[in-house]
Chain A
Amino acid sequence: EAQVTQNPRYLITVTGKKLTVTCSQNMNHEYMSWYRQDPGLGLRQIYYSMNVEVTDKGDVPEGYKVSRKEKRNFPLILESPSPNQTSLYFCASSSSGNEETQYFGPGTRLLVL
């Protein structure tokens, strides 16, 4: 089944403790991206990747890192999480670019204490 998977689905952590949220797609998609969703603010893009080893900042990249060493994986790294990064995170992928249909993962709900 074609899908985007994220792990973990739920995470509670404390300020400053590094964490990684994994994202994987099995559709051989080139474009992948991360979003955070907060009440009243909709979906905001954090980082995106056009292909392996090619990443760039979205609208809200501060406090986040990403890497794209393999085509299928696009992990989101929070080196020193803070409470304002408490949010619902979505990973998405598309075949070739941002104009193509975006396929979203199920989401990761993060709480930073």
Chain B
Amino acid sequence: LAKTTQPISMDSYEGQEVNITCSHNNIATNDYITWYQQFPSQGPRFIIQGYKTKVTNEVASLFIPADRKSSTLSLPRVSLSDTAVYYCLVAPSNDYKLSFGAGTTVTVRA
């Protein structure tokens, strides 16, 4: 099971770019990296998933270096509504367990 490590919290201001880096040193060859967003009193929801290099969608970008031992979620021009907990998840291809960890609490201020 690939263990992930990410910062506990980050502060930002509206309009700035927020980058959250997740470390997953023992990621396996077939493992994908997925990020989820959770607002207070709601269940997490999928943001983005990637295997290598860069993935972009309407919400975020995900950068994964060649060694895949880390990944960075980039939120462009954040607003107050982006205040949430963000989870980096590596789902093992040889196990059915999932470990979300504590996530990163991102607080966006006006």
Contacts and interface: CB of A to CB of B under 8 A. Distances in A.
A48 B97 contact: yes
Contacts of A50: 96
B32 A92 contact: no
Chain B interface SS verdict (over half) = loop
Chain A interface SS verdict (over half) = strand
Contacts of B32: 99
A90 B99 contact: no
A97 B87 contact: no
B57 to A, nearest CB: 13
Contact of B91 (A43, A59, A98): A98
B13 interface: no
A56 to B, nearest CB: 7
Interface in B81-110: 85, 87, 91-93, 95-103
B45 interface: yes
A22 B85 CA distance: 26
Interface centre among B96, B101, B103 (most CB of A within 10 A): B96
Contacts of B87: 42-43
A51 B95 CA distance: 14
Given A97-B91, A98-B97, 12 more contacts: A31-B96, A42-B87, A43-B44, A59-B97, A92-B43, A97-B96, A98-B91, A98-B96, A101-B49, A103-B46, A106-B43, A107-B43
Interface of B: 31-32, 34, 36, 41-46, 49, 85, 87, 91-93, 95-103
Interface of A: 4, 31, 33, 35, 40-45, 48, 50, 56, 58-59, 90, 92, 97-99, 101-107
Q: Which 4 A-B pairs have the closest CB atoms?
A: A104-B43, A42-B102, A43-B100, A99-B91
